[in-house]
Amino acid sequence: MAITTVLFDFGGVVAEEGFHEGLLAIGRNNNVDPMKFFETVDALISETGYLTGIADESFFWNEVRKRTGIIEDDASLRREILSRFIPRPDMLSHVDRLRQRGIAVAMLSDQTNWLEEIDAETALFSHFDRVFNSYRTHKSKRDATVFRDVCDALGARPEETLFVDDNINHIKRAEAQGLVVIHFTNVRDFEKKLKTFFGHG
């Protein structure tokens, strides 16, 4: 069945993975085991409700400090993350070419207000027909029903929708909901896989 719609993740796909890499850096800067720090904060961003717009950024960082013992202020912490979310020109070129072919292209991201700040500086959203940000939709990709919700919002059938993400757990949840998937590992591998659907790299 032909693909009519493509959903792209943001961090780790359309852009460099700022959240993971930024948290590892914060851990190192504070003499905390980087992977343990990442795992703790990755859980907290969901537990606090910041990921789904229930809590604000200040509350989130306060909880991070309480749980981990770090003392850096909000501005320093967010800078370590946002500075690493660098858009990938090659990936945005693929997004643009898909749209030119008449394919509906959307971003589906587990993100916060940070995504909108990045868009304000880079015009990122202009490359996409729709942007689904967990901070605004109040549902993250950790909830498998989000994939059907997004397909419904776009008027797309799951079996005609291609989902691209670097997180294997999100990939498994999307596939279980009937979507076609590409597990993103690097740009060149993605181009090879994309070619099987659209005949170009």
Read off the CATH number of the domain in which 148 is found.
3.40.50.1000
| Claim to verify: residue 10 and residue 70 sit in the same structural domain | no
| Claim to verify: residue 11 and residue 24 sit in the same structural domain | no
Number of domains in the chain: 2
What average pLDDT does the chain have? 96
> For residue 15, which of 102, 98, 125 has the smallest C-alpha distance?
125
Asked if pLDDT for residue 201 goes beyond 50, the answer is no
Which token pair is 162?
């291609």
pLDDT of residue 199: 77
Question: Which one-letter amino acid corresponds to residue 161?
Answer: T
| Claim to verify: residue 64 and residue 106 sit in the same structural domain | no
The residue range of the domain holding 114 is 5-16+86-198
pLDDT of residue 130: 98
When pLDDT is averaged across residues 117-145 and rounded to a whole number, the result is 97
Q: What is the pLDDT of residues 19-74, one digit of tens each?
A: 999 999 999 999 999 999 999 999 999 999 999 999 999 999 999 999 999 999 99
pLDDT of residue 200: 55
Measure the CA–CA gap between 41 and 43, rounded to whole angstroms: 5
Measure the CA–CA gap between 183 and 145, rounded to whole angstroms: 19
| Claim to verify: residue 10 and residue 96 sit in the same structural domain | yes
Q: Among 61, 82, 103, identify where a domain stops.
A: 82
| Claim to verify: residue 72 and residue 12 sit in the same structural domain | no
> For residue 127, which of 14, 4, 12, 3 has the smallest C-alpha distance?
14
